[in-house]
Structure 1
Amino acid sequence: MPVPSIQPFAVRSRQLCLAVGMTAAALLVSGRPAAAQAPAPQPPGAKTAPAPAPTAKPAPAPAAPAAPPAAAAPPAQTTPSKPAVEAAPQAVPGFWDPRRRPERPDLSRLTVIRFLTETDYPPFNFTGPDGNPAGFNVDLARALCDEIKVTCTIQMRRFETLVDALATNRGDAIIASMAVTPQLRARVDFTDPYYRAPARFVSRRDNVLPEIRPEYLEGKKVGVIGGTSHEAYLKAMFTDAEIHAYPDNDALRAALRRGEVDFIFGDAISLAFWVNGTDSAECCAFSGGPFVESRYFGEGVGIAVRKGNDLLRQSLNWALFRIWEKGRFTDLWLRYFSISPF
C-alpha cells in the first residue's frame, strides 16, 4: 500500500487477528455523518483496513447496568437515578437500497472470475490452516461466484502489486479491502461499496459520552496517530480540543490507558477489536457514534475491475445486492466481526 502524506481512513496493520463470533441477529444500517462538513484534506490513499487488534478473540463489551428499581416505600427525599444507556445492537454496514434493485445482467457471458486478494491481512485476507486463501474478503468472493453460478479462482498477492496485476490481465477483480478514491478511479472501475471503516472516539469507561460534538471536547486532551486523515479531521472540526499526536496505535492506546489523554480517535474497526479484547484490559469503551465524512475517511470499500469491464462490474453489483437481500452478507459479517464499529 502506498503511504500518502495523509493516510487513508483506516490505517494498515499486520497484527489484526481473526475475530470469529456468532451473533443471533443484526441490525442493517448505513453509517451517517456525526458532524458538519469541513474543508477537505489531501486525498486519502488507496487502502482501507483496520489497524492492530488483540491477539485473543474479542468479547462483547458489557452492557451498561440497568437503573435500580424504585423503592417500595417512598423516603422523605429521593434523588432520581440516572437512566442507564442501552447497549447498541450489532450493526452491519449496508449500502443497498431495497427499492433500487439492480437489473440482472447477462451472466451467461461470464465463464470464470479470477479474483486477486492480499496475502496477509487478517481477518480480511490470510492463509488458512490448509494453505488456501481465507478471510472475510475470500468468503465474500466465493459467495459472489456462487450467486452468479460461475467458476471462481482466488490468487493472493502483495497489496502493492494488485492494481498492476489487474491491468496486465493476471486477474479480473480485486477484492482486498481497497478504498474507493479518486486516484484509483482513474486506473480501475469499482463496484458499489460493500463496507466502510468509520472513525470513532474511545474513552476510559468512567468517562464515556453518549454523544460527541466539538463543543463537548473543548479543552480535552485527544490522542490520534500523527499524519493520518483522523488527525486532519480533528484539526479541522475539533479546533478547541488539545490534540496530541502519537507515532502508532500501541503508543496511542497506552496513553489512554495511563490517562495521559481523555479520548483517542481512530479507525473504528480496529478500535472495536482492541476495546473488546484482552490488550485493553477492559479499560475503555466507545464514546459517541461513528464519523463517516467521505473526504477524510473514504467513500467505502469496493471490488476493483479493469476500466470498461462493465459486464463484470454490473454482475458483481447484482450479486452483492442478492447476497445482502438473502441475509448472507449479514451472516458473513457477523461471523468475522461480532463487535460493531458503528
Structure 2
Amino acid sequence: MSMPATLRPLVVATTCLLAAIAVSPKAPAQSATSPNYWDPRERVIVPDLASRNRIRFLTTHDFPPFNFLDQQSRVSGFHVDLAREICDELNIADKCQIQILPWSELATAMASGLGDALISGVAISAESRDQYLFTRPFLKFPARFVLSNRVEVEGQDASSLAGKRVGVIAGSAHDAMLRAYFPEIKPVTYERDEWMFDGLKTGEVEAVFGDGVQLSFWLVSNSANECCSFFDGPYFAPAFLGEGLAIAVRRDSPDLLDAFNHAILSISKDGRMREIYLRYFPNGLY
C-alpha cells in the first residue's frame, strides 16, 4: 500500500503552509468552485448496518490538511470531518471510531480486522483494488497554473502561455504532464518548491505548474504575499495524477462500500461536502 506519489512531497510542504495560514488567516473564498463528481439523478441504496457493532476508520496524523493533529493534539482534517459527517448521515455516529496509526501499520491493521475502513490517502491502483473496495472518489487532485500578477497575457486559457517560461518541479508528474499537454510552453525545472516559488516572485518565470492543493495553500500564505493567482484549469489526468481520494474497505465489506457511497452522495448534494471542502481549502482547488 502506498500514498499517491504526487502527494508525498505535499505532506511536508503543506505542513509549513498550514502554519503560515494559521499566523495570517484569510476568509474562505465563498465563490470557489467545490467538487461534485456525482450525477444529481443518481441513487445509491442504503444497506442495513444494524448487525455491525462498530465501524472503525483508520487514518494517520501526518497528511495535512487531510489528517493532522491540531494545537490541542486532537486528530483533525478533511478526512476526519468527512468520516464524522458520513457517520451522521448514516445515523451510526454512536458506532463510529476514528483511530490513528502510523502509515506503515494501516494495511496490517485492516488485514487483521482491527479496522473497517481506510480514510488516509491510499492510492487507487490495480494492486490496491485486489486488496480493497474503493468508494467513488470524493476529491480529485487537479493540476493548476499560477500566474504572476505582473504578467499580462492575451487570453484566458493556457494557450496564452505559449512561449512563456513556466516553473515546474523536475521529474515530477506535473513536469511530464506539462510537456505532454502544453508543448508550446517553455518548462523551467526546479529541484525544490521554495526555489520555484522564489523564481515566480522574482520574475525568473512567468508562471508555475503544479499540484492544485499545494498551490492553493501557497497562494494564501505570507510567502506568496498576494503576488499571483490561479490561471486557467483545473486539469485532470488520471494517467499522471491518479484517480483521487476515496475510502477503502475490505473486499468482504460491500455493505460498507454502498453505505459510504450513499452518504458521500447525500453530503455532496445538500452542500455539506462544500462546507467541509471550504474549511480546509479556503482558496479552492478548482
Could you tell me the TM-score, scaled by structure 2's length? 0.88
Q: Which runs of 5+ in 2 are unaligned?
A: none
Counterpart residue number, 1:89? 31
Distance in 2, Cα, partners of 1:301 & 1:225: 22
| More displaced 10-residue stretch of structure 1: 178-187 or 223-232 | 178-187
Query: What is the correspondence of 1:13-92 to structure 2 with a 5 Å cutoff?
Result: 13-17=11-15, 52=17, 55-57=20-22, 58-59=25-26, 89-92=31-34
Counterpart residue number, 2:44? 102
Considering only CA atoms, is the larger Rg found in Structure 1 or Structure 2?
Answer: 1
Matched, 1:298 2:265: no
What is the CA-CA distance between 1:211 and the residue it aligns to?
3.0
Counterpart residue number, 1:212? 157
Cα pair distance change 1:208/1:309, threshold 3 Å: farther
Cα pair distance change 1:236/1:250, threshold 3 Å: same
Cα pair distance change 1:319/1:2, threshold 3 Å: closer
Distance in 1, Cα, partners of 2:170 & 2:253: 38
Distance in 2, Cα, partners of 1:132 & 1:285: 33
| More displaced 10-residue stretch of structure 1: 304-313 or 320-329 | 320-329
Cα pair distance change 1:338/1:218, threshold 3 Å: closer
Higher helix share: 2
Counterpart residue number, 1:333? 277
Match among 171, 180, 200 for residue 124 of structure 2:
180
Counterpart residue number, 1:131? 73
Matched, 1:148 2:90: yes
Distance in 2, Cα, partners of 1:88 & 1:260: 32
Distance in 2, Cα, partners of 1:281 & 1:253: 11
Asked if the contact 2:168/2:187 (under 8 Å) is kept, the reply is yes
Look up the SS of the partner of 1:278 in the other structure: coil
How many residues are treated as equivalent by the alignment?
A: 281
Distance in 1, Cα, partners of 2:43 & 2:34: 19
Letter in 2 for 1:118: T
Cα pair distance change 1:60/1:131, threshold 3 Å: closer
Distance in 1, Cα, partners of 2:103 & 2:188: 31
Letter in 1 for 2:209: F
Look up the SS of the partner of 1:206 in the other structure: coil
Match among 263, 271, 286 for residue 215 of structure 2:
271
Look up the SS of the partner of 1:102 in the other structure: coil
What is the CA-CA distance between 1:149 and the residue it aligns to?
2.3
Asked if the contact 2:161/2:185 (under 8 Å) is kept, the reply is yes
Instruction: Output the aligned Cα RMSD.
Output: 2.5
Q: Which runs of 5+ in 1 are unaligned?
A: 18-50, 62-86
% identity of equivalent residues: 36
